[in-house]
Amino acid sequence: MYLSELRISDFRNVEDEVIELGAGWNVFLGANGAGKTSILESAYMLSRGRSFRRGLRDSLSRIGSSGFSVFGRLHNSDDSEVRLGLARRIGKLEARANSEAVGISSLVRRCAVACFEPGSHELISGVAEERRRYLDWGVFHVEQDFFDQWRRYQRALTQRNTVLRDGGGDDYLEPWEIELVATGERITLLRSAYIEALRPILQELLTYFLGELGEARLSFESGWKSGLSLSEALSGSRIRDRDRGFTARGPHRADWSLGFERAPRREHFSRGQEKLCALALVLAQAQLYSMQSGEWPILCLDDLASELDQAHQAEVVDQLRRSQTQVLFTGTEFPDALDMSMSDLRVFHVEHGRIQRRQ
């Protein structure tokens, strides 16, 4: 899977640019604030329908514009091509595939982009929502019914919370709990299976990057007390949930954790170790995606030189050269880990939101 063309209009500080990408390594060089990250971010938007940078959605549009648009020409391993577009106009996000309006979920299912960027360490040190989002993206691309189950669960959760806040009796709660149990147990089963598939790949990468910490351990927490069924957890927490006004147990509270033999909890990690863990998570998910779908996702590496030392940069490049995935790479200078004579390399200069390929 690779993008041969990326068109960006009024996105961040990019006014109107067309980038012809290669199927291999695409390196974007420029000063800080030049717009390099915006290029990666626009590709990521086609895969997620959102940015990897935290902040207000309105800040995605270039100052003075009423919205933005991103277009990509995507090629798959079976030689098929799809034209993807995402635009925000008058506060509304619209997605298109081959010029036809589609839902965001349809757009996301067609395009897979994995990204390692300065905020990726929040997979380790951030809130559980970030880890659930990482997990669910992987499950979504494997299990066709996951999105429907997740949507039904969210709808039932909203209704149960409304009953709790309104002081409704058990007879009003029970129908929504039946739906929560039916969909929630399926979601949990799919998440658990994904963790099991991810674990050996992640452990191998973490041994490669952080072998000094000993064996890595990836643990999954369902979102309710172990040993109880979801039905038992919901009925047993009704009194406290009424006091709180929301449902405190269920898959929407799920989490996973990463530890090592010599660093059992994330509080024991240094910031550098957090970054290497996050990088391993991104690479492991990309590798698992390739095993399950038959093709690698597009991989974005934002300012890798400032996040990793040269030895680890070289290890990452070595891993990815063997994978033959398309890579979008940013930096202030050409990285020592890459060879300028690589046949699959394209280098671009970025300045004030303008992108020009170097010959």
Per residue in 180-228, pLDDT tens?
Answer: 999 999 999 999 999 999 999 999 999 988 989 999 999 999 999 999 9
Handedness of CA 1, 146, 282, 46 (dihedral sign): positive
Note the pTM of the prediction, 2 decimals: 0.91
**Of 122, 134, 53, 117, whose CA–CA distance to 301 is shortest?**
117
Contacts of 260-269 with C-beta under 8 Å, sequence gap 24+, read 260/206, 260/210, 260/213, 260/214, 260/215, 260/216, 260/217, 261/213, 261/214, 261/215, 261/217, 262/212, 262/213, 262/214, 263/213, 263/214, 264/217, 266/124, 266/125, 269/124, 269/125
Q: What is the pLDDT along the chain (359 residues), one digit of tens a residue?
A: 899 999 999 998 898 999 999 999 999 999 988 899 999 999 999 998 888 886 655 578 888 788 899 999 999 888 889 999 999 887 788 999 998 999 888 888 899 999 998 888 889 988 999 999 999 999 999 888 999 999 999 999 999 999 999 999 999 999 999 999 999 999 999 999 999 999 999 999 999 889 899 999 999 999 999 999 999 999 999 999 999 999 999 999 999 999 999 888 878 888 888 989 999 999 999 999 999 988 999 999 998 877 788 888 888 888 888 888 999 999 888 887 787 777 788 999 999 889 999 87
Look at phi and psi of residue 193 and say left if phi exceeds 0, alpha if psi is from -120 to 50, else beta.
Answer: alpha
CA 123 to chain CA centroid, Å, is 10
Give burial (CB, 10 Å; 0-12/13-18/19+) of 185. Answer: middle
Tell me the pairing of strands 298-301 and 345-351. Answer: unpaired
Place of tokens 């690698």: 296
- Give yes or no for a contact between 196 and 173, defined as CB atoms under 8 angstroms apart: no
Quickly list H helices, the chain: 36-48, 104-110, 122-125, 128-140, 146-166, 170-210, 230-236, 238-244, 271-293, 304-307, 310-323
